[in-house]
Structure 1
Amino acid sequence: MADSPKVQSLDDVMRWLDRLERATQVQSTTPWKMSAVLEHMAQSVDMSMDGFPEPKSALFQSTLGSAAFAVFRLRGKMSHGLTEPIPGAPALPQVDDWKPGAARLRSAVQRFQAYAGPLKPHFAYGALSRADFALAHTLHIANHQDEITVV
């Protein structure tokens, strides 16, 4: 929500989802509907455990990709194209009912928080530690908060 503080952790994401689910209406300021925005964020979280369908080359991941993540980590802020789907990800739902998307993101974050298995390399950043993946998810969601407004 545009008037909400930016999330700083996955626990903040859960509290933000609480506020989002209590809202009467929210919308994306991009061409994507909220259902698509929330599904996109959930896909990213799930793919850190299940694998990304179309990873960039190992060379890209070890150079440009890891450098980009290092900059985001240093700045404490991510900036990316807010309507760029994850390469190879399933199509995003462009429906008006956004509340199932909020529940889907909540489920993905809860799954990540409880997950003890090995994490899959990020499609662009490559292999990340659990702490770095949690940070990447948090920064990704915080970046998408820029496009979300309560109506």
Structure 2
Amino acid sequence: MQRRTLLKGTAVAGVAVLGAGFWALPGGPRPAALSLAAAQQVLADLQGRALQSLRGWSPSEVFNHCAQSIDYSIDGYPRLKPAWFRHSLGPAAFAVFSARGGMRHPLDEPIPGAAVLLEPDNQEAALQRLRSAFVRFASYQGELQPHFAYGALSHGEYAAAHVMHLYDHLSLLRLA
């Protein structure tokens, strides 16, 4: 009985936090539409432009991180959150992000188990890596791997997740 009460309390608290988080998400304009094509155009527009980060990761680290996430959706994430999380809080968070059309997450937190964000170490090469990852994802027809936090996502859901993820990170990059 106590376990059921604890689970109910946890679920109610989770819903309350996610509901509050929904309204805390940014409501302002995005760099572009929430589509793979729009994200690819945003990245194309950054080609050859010097960028700087307002804080946290450098532009090359941001691009490498976003490319890692896309590649892991195809190849598999190195470490997953526990199954209970990927079947409860993770999907609930993704539902909030999807409904809001925007994501907020710690912008200097690596993907669990991911390689260090050093390769490639220059902005142009890292940007090209990210652009290539988006092209690979857009044309990928196979089964996608579970997201480390959100669990199983369809190709369309993953596309939205990758674009929202990119746009959240781009919020800290500016022209130098």
Alignment partner of 2:48 out of 22, 25, 31:
22
Q: Counterparts of 2:65 and 2:99 in 1: how far apart (Å)?
A: 24
Q: Counterparts of 2:64 and 2:146 in 1: how far apart (Å)?
A: 20
User: Structure 2 length as normaliser, TM-score?
Assistant: 0.80
Identical-residue share of aligned pairs (%) = 45
**For structure 2, which runs of at least 5 residues remain unmatched after alignment?**
1-28
1:120 correspondence with 2:116: no
Q: Counterparts of 1:11 and 1:34 in 2: how far apart (Å)?
A: 21
1:10 correspondence with 2:47: no
Alignment partner of 1:65 out of 67, 72, 90:
90
Q: Secondary structure at the match of 1:22?
A: coil
Indicate how the Cα distance of structure 1 residues 96 and 51 shifts in structure 2: closer, same or farther if over 3 A, else same: closer
Q: CA deviation at 1:146?
A: 0.6
Q: Counterparts of 1:65 and 1:4 in 2: how far apart (Å)?
A: 23
1:145 maps to what in 2? 170
Q: Deviations over 1:26-77 (max 9, x none)?
A: 0121221111100000000000000000100110011110110000001010
State which drifts further: 101-110 or 3-12.
Answer: 3-12
2:10 maps to what in 1? none
* Letter of the structure 2 residue corresponding to residue 116 of structure 1: Q
Q: Secondary structure at the match of 1:27?
A: strand
Q: Secondary structure at the match of 1:99?
A: helix
Report if aligned partners of 2:56, 2:107 keep a CA contact under 8 Å in 1. Answer: no
2:159 maps to what in 1? 134
* Higher RCO (C-alpha under 8 Å, 6+ residues apart): 1
Report the count of equivalent residues.
Answer: 148
Q: Could you say which structure has the larger radius of gyration?
A: 2
1:109 maps to what in 2? 134
* Letter of the structure 2 residue corresponding to residue 35 of structure 1: S
Report if aligned partners of 1:30, 1:83 keep a CA contact under 8 Å in 2. Answer: no
Q: Secondary structure at the match of 2:88?
A: helix
User: Structure 1 length as normaliser, TM-score?
Assistant: 0.92
